[in-house]
Amino acid sequence: MIEGVILIPLKRYTDGRGWLAELFREDELPADFKPAMGYLSVTHPGVARGPHEHVAQSDGFCFLSGEFEVTLWENRPNRERSKEVLRLGEGNPAFLVVPPGVVHAYRNMGKEDAFVLNFPDALYAGRGRKQPVDEIRHEDRDSEFKLG
């Protein structure tokens, strides 16, 4: 695993009503990771989000539904380049923390829409959405950060 990336398998507690899963617990996260907001995204089958990275922000992703292929690339200075590919989602639910400088992307490999929860440790565009967005996008670049 790329240094600083944390993968916490999630356990589902199931009964006759359905299921419940703890998404994250403060006592299982790095001391410096404090989520600042949360959002839900739905990704259509075959569609990818990313690749992109952040300068200062860490992302905390929760993969509970669908079948996602998550790709991570080490892109921090003075570190050896490496790439990790994870399969996460309904069959392998997990909370994934991606630190700054690690390029990340995910693709819905299933046949139906699937959702991802994100709990970044910084507000999108800062307080009042008045600051530059902390994001370096790689989707449209001819780079090593290609999916597939």
Predicted confidence (pLDDT) per residue in 90-141, tens digit: 999 999 999 999 999 999 999 999 999 999 999 999 999 999 999 999 987 7
Within a domain: 145: no
> Is 82 part of a structural domain of the chain?
yes
pLDDT at residue 139, as a whole number: 84
Mean pLDDT to the nearest integer, 21-38:
93
- Domain assignment present for residue 72? The answer is yes
3-state helix, strand, coil in the chain (%, to 5): 5, 45, 55
Residue 143 is assigned to a structural domain of this protein: no
Number of structural domains (the chain) is: 1
Let me know if residue 1 belongs to a domain: no
User: In Å, what is the CA distance from 129 to each residue of 31, 38, 122, 124, 134?
Assistant: 26, 15, 11, 7, 12
Q: What percent of the chain has pLDDT over 70?
A: 98
The answer as to whether 147 is a domain residue is no
- The residue range of the domain holding 40 is 6-137
Residue 7 has pLDDT above 90, yes or no: yes
What is the structure's pLDDT at 142?
66
pTM: 0.92
Say which residues have a Cβ less than 8 Å from residue 83's Cβ, sequence separation at least 6: 71, 72, 73, 74
In a domain, 47, yes or no: yes
pLDDT, tens digit, 9 for 90 and up, residues 32-50? 999 999 999 999 999 999 9
Say if 148 falls within a structural domain: no
Which CATH number is 78's domain given? 2.60.120.10
